[in-house]
A = this chain, B = another copy of it.
């Protein structure tokens, strides 16, 4: 055995493998580090590089994928460690994650105190938990096994585990939709309305993760959204509001990690949901938040009863962490607005702000409801007066001018792109629209190219309960090339349930 083969370091190589958030390192089975440390496939290993370190999952490689002196990094591992030229990686058995003993205690239905939840969340954010451990934590918190005190502690722990914005204003307004509906771009309408009425609303939104568009994607068809914190502050100072992408600012990073595993399990623990929503808002420095809970068979909240329970829990926890909230339980049986996809949604938003006769009235009404709730929550006005105020600034064009000003401040307004290829999907027979499947609709829009292709997606041409004749267009697919249009068309032909039609 040569002396240099004993060295306990390897040369990092970026393999370009995207394992989603989980950092993975790849080592040859016969490499000296694997052998001397007794690592095997699926071992957890601590990887050190320069002064940085992460815990990663090991995949063992047989054959010539890697050189003898190399360690492969997945994209997540590469981005966390950012190897510099000539830096070598060192490896060790990871220190056991102490806070997993609290997770095991929770699995055994014990109550956790705030320091224990803090310890869990810090380790989650430091990427010390495997997906399997996260799943055990999430399962242990379901079925009402988190007490109200634990939900409050969890929310605070999630706020504390990331960056936190502060603002030099008494009232910082925000809104959140506990969602799952396609379309529904109320934010871009109600933020300018609120700003016109003197409210401060530094709105940060997400990009699409599994949906055809996030608010940040839609806004990006009108103006830049990837703002530095300084720019974001300058925009808010000038216009009273912004609509920016929140991803660059690390607010409640634990939430992103937990949500991914919750989604994989299709498990919505009420306690986790409450902590997730409120921690993001609190970390963003918001003080007053309107929460929109759409209820419908393909929305996140499926019954009125569930909505009321969730509403109570949200309000209690918000009070405990010092947030003022107002909750609206709304109709979530179908998409809000017509467009699904970045540019198509932006066109809906502009149509409402421009008071066009053909503008989607459901999107207009829903935006006004939330805007009025914000005005009430901020104690600017109440009831009919609040409603009149928000309607007036929309009708007289001030809200449109404000959105334009916000876009200018964010870097300049632009026109949303228009798709080069469209295709109408028509009713096979006459009938009444009985259901619109949010999930299939989203899949079709994504196959057409959304959100990557900004102009792509679909336009819904009918509403629930509407009567249609044979051959009448139900929705229009938009794509930026013929291939994408074909993919989407093939999908909707295989899935006739996107829009459900009952014969007369």
Which residue numbers of A lie inside 8 Å of B, CB to CB? Answer: 1, 6, 15-20, 26, 29, 35-36, 38, 40-42, 59-65, 74-75, 100, 104, 107-109, 130-136, 138-140, 142-143, 210, 261, 264-267, 443, 446-447, 481-483, 487
Contacts and interface: CB of A to CB of B under 8 A. Distances in A.
Contacts of A443: 38
Q: Give the number of times this chain occurs in the complex, counting copies.
A: 2
A443 to B, nearest CB: 7
Nearest to A142: B107
Contacts of A40: 210
A62 B143 contact: no
Contacts of A64: 16
Leading 10 A-B pairs by shortest Cβ distance: A135-B135, A16-B63, A20-B42, A139-B139, A18-B41, A16-B62, A18-B60, A136-B139, A132-B135, A20-B41
Contact of A265 (B41, B136, B483): B136
Contacts of A132: 131-132, 134-135, 261, 264-265
Given A17-B65, A133-B135, 13 more contacts: A6-B483, A16-B63, A18-B29, A18-B59, A18-B62, A20-B42, A107-B267, A109-B143, A131-B135, A135-B135, A136-B138, A136-B139, A139-B140
Given A38-B443, A108-B143, A109-B143, A133 B18 contact: no
B487 A139 contact: no
6 contacts: A1-B482, A17-B61, A62-B75, A132-B134, A135-B139, A136-B138
Contact of A19 (B59, B100, B134, B266): B59
Nearest to A110: B143
Most chain B CB atoms below 10 A, which of A6, A61, A107, A447: A107
Contact of A26 (B17, B108, B109, B142): B17
Contacts of A60: 17-18
B264 A130 contact: yes
Given A1-B483, A138-B136, A139-B136, A104 B41 contact: no
